[in-house]
Amino acid sequence: MNDSKVHLFLFVLIGNYFFTLLIIGLAAAWISLLRKPKPLKINTGAEALLSYFLLFPIGISNLINLFFMFSSVIRQQSLSAGTTVRFKLKWDLQVLASV
């Protein structure tokens, strides 16, 4: 493997995407709280943290898992049907580009 720091950073970022999305969700909640009118009530802060926590690490990671699940199912079906792997790769890239 390549020992560069960028390669290691990208490996940890992609390999640990649930934790990465958690950090992004907390950052989005913090930005949302900064934009709200002051003084903040406790329920406003809790609502922002919970809603962004539900959106980013849980919702988006489930979408990522769903894509990988469907991708593997379609790959297995296309290989069993005798179609080429090139078609599968082209389909995966088109799905990624449309997201």
Domain range list for the chain:
5-98
Count CA atoms within 13 Å of residue 21 on its CB side. Answer: 18
DSSP class of 41: P
More confident residue, 22 or 74: 22
pLDDT tens, position by position, 17-37: 778 888 888 898 899 889 988
Mean pLDDT of 3-16: 78
For residues 93, 81, 68 and 99, what is the CA-based torsion angle, rounded to 10 degrees?
A: 30
- Residue 10: CB partners within 8 Å, gap ≥ 6? none
